[in-house]
Structure 1
């Protein structure tokens, strides 16, 4: 496990535990940056896997934010999309123990508050055992939150009737299948180019296109989407991570493509 940087010890320590995916880590980073810039007397430690630490460790951040890592107990980000439900089960069943061990390390300041991603219910168990206040950050839409709760409650009620209680991993695997393809993954880019372009467009005139990181779309399918955008004549912002020049040429000039990657 990697320790946070050696910074002066502020009076209040917040530990943030994001779900290990772009669409979850980026909002948590933004929240932590906003908190750190507003209050210089708090230390914020963001806990990620070793792989994610390598991806974000060089990012610019306020001096009162540190990173700490747990081992790579979940599949690599590079193969995240091969089995999205298996990845979710691994998050639910394998991350709690190393996170707890990290909090017990002598070099880490005992946390006064924990912020966890809203899809990791085990964080409440960790915080409860240590009598640490906890808040959940929900990074998806309100409709997804409502559906998540509805499916989870339905599964819990069903398991109670059969006297068989599903694990957190099973709840994630089953409940998420009913809505996971409807969620929008928002990514942050340190450049403001796409925001400047959006500001120049008429209100409510831009179509947002995002296929998420874990969907496998063939080149032929991507070309069909590009042709459809071109023929529709609508303004669009398309998050695409490959063949961007080719797709931009096919789509025309009524929209922009953006790689959605953190600098």
Structure 2
């Protein structure tokens, strides 16, 4: 049962594919709202993953951006009853429920019915740990706090988590995230009532955080990531008929570009920067002369005109396959967790421009902890725009293959990529945790 948003549905589906590949006897009932079935129902999946639906949370979930607090409230109050009714209609007895951590009612449903629940956290272990230790922020006078005045103060007391500035935590501070903060905190507080805690991350990316959480929790903690569509990668990211938009084949264009010469730009599918900042970004990219593949929502005509022969603009692409293409030399990202994992898996250096919530902490991990990226905006507290001139110069340096700073980024990105590759092969950490989870489910039924 995923939270009804693409950034949660996709990693849940990728986990289910991992499970049935490991154990073909598993039957997965993948529960989505009626609207989401219409969006993803035709996607290719193994035969033993079956869709089931519950009614839409609100009349059209895609308008949630206009009333995000109302959307959160509906998820918390309107999904539980139809989900429980669905459990009564299923032909097969339910051995376990895998539910998104942000479905605050899911663990309680499982406990009422004596069905073991695995809570799947679709954000980083670092974000989870900050939420889990939010009381420490309160005790140290860092919550609530006015970010503009104290952003440079260090938060170095969260167990297992590298030191960060308050400016890395705007999602957890006043004026940001609406109802997200109390809901996130409540969801994390309920996790110990589940039977397992799963993460979409790879153990090797956050080892100290995982070790610390295991010492604090009595339930098993399994990082089974990266929960991205790496199982669907074929060959070396060759294109297909699905990769053609309006008669234009973006993989054909990528094939014609020099190795590591293209900057891939995508700011996610939901939130966006201001119109004024987007104008500066557009002009900065154009003035830099850097080759780019740009995924942009809405009217793409202006972006196409500005990029000319140096760029390719599409409304959607197969992101992981693109990132693994040999022509890609960098990824300009909003730091969504799935995009972050895909960038790491592909071994691509990143430019970071977080927009909201946990993305700021992901940005900090990319730039400071993993050292595989640069910030577009150096001070997240500043209300000033990043100018086209600043963007243009940064892009030139970032994509310069002879730049020593860039060389260090690429070497480090390659190291993290290799760590991910080791984790997903037989005997690697991810495979071992998946085996342990499947064994646990089997034992719970005996």
Query: What range describes the TM-score normalised by the shorter chain of this pair?
Result: 0.5 to 0.7
CA spacing shift, 1:49–1:32, aligned 2, 3 Å: same
TM-superposition CA deviations, 1:158-216 (whole Å, max 9, x none):
xxxxxxxxxxxxx98140799xxxxxxx997989558995997549x956541541448
Identify the match of residue 181 of structure 2 among 158, 175, 183: 175
| In 1, Cα distance between equivalents of 2:41 and 2:135 | 35
TM-score (norm 2): 0.42
Q: What is the CA distance between 1:21 and its match in structure 2?
A: 0.7
Q: What is the CA distance between 1:73 and its match in structure 2?
A: 2.5
Q: Report SS of the residue matched to 1:27.
A: helix
Match of 2:103 in 1: 120
| In 1, Cα distance between equivalents of 2:27 and 2:296 | 35
TM-score (norm 1): 0.67
Question: Is it true that 1:61 corresponds to 2:45 in the alignment?
Answer: yes
Match of 2:57 in 1: 73
Identify the match of residue 119 of structure 2 among 126, 136, 143: 136
Identify the match of residue 145 of structure 1 among 113, 128, 140: 128
Q: Report SS of the residue matched to 2:57.
A: coil
| In 2, Cα distance between equivalents of 1:188 and 1:258 | 20
Match of 1:162 in 2: none
Q: Report SS of the residue matched to 2:67.
A: helix
Match of 2:25 in 1: 41
| In 2, Cα distance between equivalents of 1:242 and 1:73 | 25
Does the 8 Å CA contact 1:70/1:102 hold for their aligned counterparts? yes
Identify the match of residue 242 of structure 1 among 270, 288, 298: 298
Does the 8 Å CA contact 2:57/2:71 hold for their aligned counterparts? no
Q: What is the CA distance between 1:36 and its match in structure 2?
A: 2.1
Q: Report SS of the residue matched to 1:227.
A: helix
Identify the match of residue 100 of structure 1 among 63, 84, 90: 84
Structure 1: which 5+ runs fail to align?
Answer: 1-16, 156-170, 179-185
| In 2, Cα distance between equivalents of 1:59 and 1:83 | 29
| In 2, Cα distance between equivalents of 1:234 and 1:225 | 13
Match of 1:25 in 2: 9
CA spacing shift, 1:211–1:64, aligned 2, 3 Å: closer
| In 2, Cα distance between equivalents of 1:217 and 1:202 | 30
Bigger CA radius of gyration: 2
| In 2, Cα distance between equivalents of 1:154 and 1:94 | 32
Match of 2:402 in 1: none
Q: Report SS of the residue matched to 2:27.
A: strand
**Greater CA drift, 146-155 or 50-59:** 146-155
| In 1, Cα distance between equivalents of 2:66 and 2:99 | 25
| In 1, Cα distance between equivalents of 2:309 and 2:44 | 33
Q: Report SS of the residue matched to 2:56.
A: coil
Does the 8 Å CA contact 1:81/1:215 hold for their aligned counterparts? no
CA spacing shift, 1:148–1:172, aligned 2, 3 Å: farther
Q: What is the CA distance between 1:56 and its match in structure 2?
A: 1.6
Question: Is it true that 1:210 corresponds to 2:271 in the alignment?
Answer: no
